[in-house]
Structure 1
Amino acid sequence: MLFTRGNILGTIDVKTQEEVFERLAERAVSLGLAHDAQAIVRDYKEREEEASTGFGGGIAIPHSKTDDVSEPTVLFARLSQPVEWNSIDGKPVQTVISILVPSGANSEHLRLLSSLSRKLVHPEFVEILNKGTDDEVFEAIDGVLSGNAS
Structure 2
Amino acid sequence: MIERAQLGGVGIPETKLALYHTRDDDVLSPTFTIYRLNKPIELTGMDGNLMATDTVLLMLSPQSVNQEVLEIMSLISSLVIQEPKTIELFEEADGEAIKQFLSEHFFNYVQQKQVRSMDYV
Q: TM-score, normalised by structure 1?
A: 0.58
* Aligned residues with identical type, % of pairs: 25
The residue identity in structure 1 corresponding to 2:90 is L
Question: Residue 55 of structure 1 corresponds to which residue in structure 2?
Answer: 12
Deviation (angstroms), 1:79: 1.6
Work out whether 1:70 is the aligned partner of 2:28.
yes
Contact 1:65 1:105 in 2 (8 A): no
Contact 1:60 1:95 in 2 (8 A): yes
With over 3 angstroms needed to count, the CA separation of the structure-2 counterparts of 1:141 and 1:80, relative to structure 1, is farther
Question: Residue 52 of structure 2 corresponds to which residue in structure 1?
Answer: 92
Measure, in 2, the Cα distance between the counterparts of 1:109 and 1:51.
23
Measure, in 2, the Cα distance between the counterparts of 1:141 and 1:122.
14
Measure, in 2, the Cα distance between the counterparts of 1:71 and 1:92.
30
Deviation (angstroms), 1:63: 1.4
Structure 1 segments unaligned to the other structure (5+ residues): 1-43
Question: Residue 14 of structure 1 corresponds to which residue in structure 2?
Answer: none
Q: CA RMSD, aligned part only?
A: 2.4
Alignment of 1:109-128 (within 5 A): 110-119=70-79, 120-128=81-89
Q: TM-score, normalised by structure 2?
A: 0.70
SS state at 1:69 partner: coil
Measure, in 1, the Cα distance between the counterparts of 2:68 and 2:6.
22
Measure, in 1, the Cα distance between the counterparts of 2:107 and 2:7.
29
The residue identity in structure 1 corresponding to 2:12 is F
Deviation (angstroms), 1:140: 2.2
Measure, in 2, the Cα distance between the counterparts of 1:77 and 1:130.
10
With over 3 angstroms needed to count, the CA separation of the structure-2 counterparts of 1:81 and 1:71, relative to structure 1, is same
The residue identity in structure 1 corresponding to 2:60 is L
With over 3 angstroms needed to count, the CA separation of the structure-2 counterparts of 1:138 and 1:47, relative to structure 1, is same
The residue identity in structure 1 corresponding to 2:83 is H
Tell me which moved more, 98-107 or 52-61.
Answer: 98-107
- Cα deviations by residue, 1:97-139 (Å, 9 ceiling, x for unpaired): 1111001238567534532332213122122212212200222
Question: Residue 105 of structure 1 corresponds to which residue in structure 2?
Answer: 65
Structure whose CA Rg is larger: 2
Work out whether 1:140 is the aligned partner of 2:101.
yes
The residue identity in structure 1 corresponding to 2:5 is E
With over 3 angstroms needed to count, the CA separation of the structure-2 counterparts of 1:132 and 1:69, relative to structure 1, is same
Question: Residue 31 of structure 1 corresponds to which residue in structure 2?
Answer: none
